[in-house]
Amino acid sequence: MDTRIREKLDRIDELFPAERLAKSKERWRRLWAAEKPLDRLPYIVEPMFAYYDVSPAEERLNRYLDHSISRGFVDDDFIPSFFPGCRQGTIPSMFGAREIIAGDDYTCEKILLGPEDAARLPEPSLGEGTIAHEWLALARYVAERTEGRFPVHVTDMQGPVDVAGQLWGYEDLYIAAYTQPEVYDALLEKTTRAFIRLWKAQKEALGPLFIGTHLTGYSYLPEGFGATVSVDSLVMVSGDFYERFFRPYLTRISEEFGGLVIHSCGNFQQLIPQLLATPNIRGLNASQMSPSQLYEAGIDGRLVLISGEYYPRFEEAMQYIRSHGLRAEMTVGDFWPRRNGGLKPVQDWNDTDYDEMKRKQDHILNCMRSE
């Protein structure tokens, strides 16, 4: 092992000893199992950098190691780990779609121009030349470079409907669902198999290092609570459409992995009843809906909400969550020192900065303690 990496891992072990990690993981487990909190609810302060990163593997690994060290003094429930990132063309590449990069936007070409193309779509591949293959290589690289001492998250990849929408275009896909449902179903069977295959391949490559959540790249999901799936197209559809053309394939994933945690952007409150009825759904990450919006739409304590709030409004948010019987995994924003509109570099933190972060941390801990 490289001496610098070993030194960083040793420092992480000092800051995050086994007993600290065990306590944090138990807080996570009790939240997801709907059990009485250990001593307080789990929480995380926001990361200090954009975790959707496409820089070289060595640079990224060192950034995550440094990030873990820098935040080691914070008494939150962060588990030091590496998050691969997100490229929307990951699963489409398993079917031969070429990735398209425009600035920071990673998409893919449409390769289905009609029902005939959908019928001829090959089985998904993890072979060389696919983005999926690159993610697996990156996961193995991190595991090998750290000699199994640094966990790795599953990569952020879209679920079956959104993959099909990228391959064909959402408008044509949804028209086919009504006019040629047999074509739609055959396509969704393939994209569902692709999701399951890539998830299993990452878990097999990483073994006990595998963390099965990509909903936030700094979060944690205990083993045994299912797979996380991005379903950003929920905002586009009605409850009836979801029931017929989304739910069967999400149910397949839920059955395969023993549960389901869903992410979607936008406001999809019209689907809350249908989501609650999806078999074995365990959590929901509505990144642009507040706990109050979700509660008013029908969400209750059956699901864990992967949510967040800026520090100035955090106490109010937690009071709302508690008073309405909700369960929430919370990320706290606006925690780190800032300068000129951006985050202040770690090397420039002074005693005043540390005192301010300590004050914020004590307040957050008070909000999260068991009642």
> Is 23 contained in some domain?
yes
Pairing mode of beta strands 338-339, 342-343: antiparallel
Structure tokens at 291: 């706990």
Average pLDDT, the chain: 94
pLDDT at 371: 62
Of the listed ranges 74-83, 105-114, 266-275, 299-308, the one predicted with least confidence: 105-114
Q: What percentage of the chain has pLDDT greater than the value 90? A: 89
Could you tell me if residue 31 is inside a domain?
A: yes
Mean pLDDT of 252-272: 95
Note the pLDDT of residue 51.
Answer: 63
In-domain check, residue 296: no
Examine residue 216 and state whether it is found in any structural domain, yes or no: no
Do the domain assignments include residue 338? yes
Per-residue confidence at 218, pLDDT binned at 50, 70, 90? confident
Judge whether residue 104 has pLDDT over 80: no
Is 230 a member of any domain? no
Q: Which residues constitute the domain of residue 125? A: 3-211+302-368
Residue 107: inside a domain, yes or no?
Answer: yes
pLDDT value of residue 215? 82
**Would you say residue 266 lies in a domain?**
no
Q: Report the candidate in 310, 361, 301, 362 with the shortest Cα–Cα distance to residue 328.
A: 301
The pLDDT of residue 181 is above 80: yes
What phi and psi values does residue 146 have, to the nearest 5 degrees? -100, 5
222 band by pLDDT with thresholds 50, 70 and 90: very high
Question: For the chain, how many structural domains are there in total?
Answer: 1
pLDDT of 53 > 70? The answer is: yes
pLDDT at 49 over 80: no
> In this structure, what CATH number is given to the domain that contains residue 36?
3.20.20
Residues 329-350: pLDDT tens digits?
999 999 999 998 889 999 999 9
